[in-house]
Amino acid sequence: MTQNRFHGRIPGSARPCSAPGCPEPGEFRAPGERAPGFDGPGSYRWFCLEHVRAFNQGYDFFRGMTPEQIERAQSPLSGWADQTRAFRPTAGIDEAPRWADYVDPLDAIGARARARAADMRRTHDAARRGLNPADRRAYDALGLDMDADRRALRARYSELVRRYHPDRNGGDRSHEARLGEVVEAYQHLRRLPAFA
């Protein structure tokens, strides 16, 4: 087996270099505009050696992150706080549909597929906005749209506190855990730049 002098080179490529005006063949793959996700592996650009070196020198993994997010990403414990799909109790699979709610089983399957697609769109939207999984969980805990402003955040928080606080529902403490989630999510979100 012959070793390539440059790691990642795909010789004999018929693709042209993506750099404008470059006549060299594109033998090195670089990330494109579309990130990998539900719809596939994402797009790629192809560069010659000179232009892939220039691309790599200008590539910034941390672009758009706050200093706190950069510190968390560089931590040795980064990623260990969240369960991976394989180790979740449900293995990343949502619950089976309630078949009695549908006349046609295909409607149940279609509704499940639409729900998963909507969740994937929400995940991609969060990533595009630079939100990490903790930010997204906070949005989900409050049931907030990612386009929400400070006024919407406060209104939703007030509504949920009124709904779950024991003083508002006759001393019933069965919703205390949910109230704690709401308060924690609000405290997390109000520190984000979007709500400053």
State the Cα–Cα distance between residues 182 and 147, nearest whole angstrom: 18
Q: How many separate helices (H) and strands (E) can be counted in the chain? A: 6, 2
* Residue 112 exposed, middle or buried by CB count within 10 Å (0-12, 13-18, 19+): middle
Question: Domain 133-196 is classified in which CATH homologous superfamily?
Answer: DnaJ domain (1.10.287.110)
**pLDDT tens readout for residues 140-195:** 889 888 888 889 999 999 999 888 888 877 777 788 888 889 999 999 998 888 88
Task: Please check the confidence at residue 30 and state whether its pLDDT lies above 90.
Answer: no
Residue extent(s) of CATH 1.10.287.110 domains in the chain: 133-196
For residues 129 and 195, give the distance between their C-alpha atoms in angstroms, rounded to a whole number.
14
Q: Work out the mean pLDDT of the chain and round it to a whole number.
A: 81
The structure's pTM equals 0.46
